[in-house]
């Protein structure tokens, strides 16, 4: 029985429950979480959609979690790589346990994390204080950039498009950029407008840095040109490796300069001694 699904890019997390009536023993009645991948269609049953789901049945870490209730993706380490959080039943019916599985995906891929806040205060907002609020449902985010081959690439996502029971959607959007480290040429953010209003509530930002987090504050909501955005960079291993390489190059250059300086000083001392001996012979 299908219990819950949660989508991330081309992957899904869901839980299956084994029917206790068809199980050989009652101890086999189990509910587990599995990972699905959205792949091109390879059989006749999905020719119309041209896509299908590939189930990864043999994931050791997920298989060890018994009586899973719901599974979802979450960026635990705030590094742009989505990990898996699984909620399972405890020893009793009223007890629950939370399991986290770290995603060890280390490919050289880039992302942009965008969260659109509500821009509201609990009361009247004081002067010179920007109202942050909380993440609101319904915003639409779209970006355009150039990939590594020079072709125009765009992508879009909606924030909190579902609010049903146990939806467990991410409070932000992670836009995958692949292996392209180019800046985002344009990033568009739009929010829902009240019924009857004809003007579109949309704002554009340019030159967004990859591997960063953008927090959009749509305040006031009916004046998009006054919206503000805060950009936070997420350092990765590439930054550390670049710093190590830079320090290594600097040390190497300093070593060469030191050796050349020592050789020059040694040559100067030799010339001074020769000049002293020449003056001594000339005086005799």
Where is 29: in which H helix or E strand?
none
Gap between the Cα atoms of 12 and 3, Å rounded: 13
144: left (phi over 0), alpha (psi -120 to 50) or beta: beta
- Helix segments in 40-172, DSSP class H: 60-63
Asked whether 204 and 190 are in contact (CB, 8 A), the reply is no
> CA-based Rg of the chain, rounded to a whole angstrom?
30
Rounded alpha-carbon distances, angstroms, from residue 230 to 131, 132, 147, 238, 256: 13, 11, 25, 23, 44
Angle in degrees, CA 173, 36, 79, rounded to 5: 35
For the chain, which residues score pLDDT lower than 70? 1-29, 105-108, 122-124, 126, 128, 163-166, 234-238, 278-284
* Residues found in the chain: 284
Residues ≥6 apart with Cβ < 8 Å to 27: none
pLDDT of residue 107: 62
Gap between the Cα atoms of 153 and 145, Å rounded: 5
State the burial class of residue 188 (Cβ atoms within 10 Å of its Cβ: 0-12, 13-18, 19+): middle
Q: Which of these, 218, 184, 222, 178, lies nearest to 200 by C-alpha position?
A: 222
Q: Which of these, 189, 175, 191, lies nearest to 138 by C-alpha position?
A: 191
Angle in degrees, CA 207, 209, 213, rounded to 5: 120
Sign of CA dihedral 222, 224, 227, 230: positive
Gap between the Cα atoms of 156 and 118, Å rounded: 20
pLDDT of residue 280: 58
DSSP state of 62: H
Token match 């291993």: residue? 237
pLDDT of residue 29: 62
**Encoding tokens for residue 85?**
């959080």
């Amino acid at each position: 029985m299908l219990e819950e699904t949660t989508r991330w890019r081309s992957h899904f997390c869901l839980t299956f429950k084994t029917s206790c009536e068809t199980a050989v023993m009652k101890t086999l009645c189990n509910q587990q979480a599995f990972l699905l991948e959205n792949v091109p269609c390879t059989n006749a049953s999905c020719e119309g959609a041209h896509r299908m789901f590939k189930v990864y049945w043999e994931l050791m870490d997920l298989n060890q979690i018994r009586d899973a209730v719901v599974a979802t993706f979450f960026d635990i380490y705030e590094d742009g790589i989505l990990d898996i959080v699984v909620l399972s039943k405890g020893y009793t019916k009223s007890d629950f346990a939370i399991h986290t599985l770290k995603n060890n995906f280390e490919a050289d891929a880039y992302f942009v994390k965008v969260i659109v806040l509500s821009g509201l205060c609990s009361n009247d907002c004081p002067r010179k204080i920007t109202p942050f609020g909380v993440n609101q449902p319904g915003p639409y985010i779209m970006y355009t950039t150039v990939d590594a081959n020079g072709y125009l690439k765009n992508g879009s996502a909606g924030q909190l498009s579902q609010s049903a029971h146990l939806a467990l959607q991410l409070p932000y959007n992670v836009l995958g950029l692949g292996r392209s480290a180019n800046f985002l040429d344009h990033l568009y953010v739009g929010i829902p407008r009240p019924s009857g209003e004809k003007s579109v509530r949309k704002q554009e930002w340019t030159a967004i840095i990859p591997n960063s987090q953008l927090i959009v504050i749509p305040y006031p909501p009916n004046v998009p040109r006054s919206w503000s955005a805060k950009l936070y960079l997420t350092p990765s291993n590439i930054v550390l490796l670049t710093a190590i390489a830079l320090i290594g190059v600097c040390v190497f250059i300093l070593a060469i300069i030191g050796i050349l300086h020592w050789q020059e000083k040694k040559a100067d001392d030799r010339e001074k001694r020769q000049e002293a001996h020449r003056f001594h012979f000339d005086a005799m």
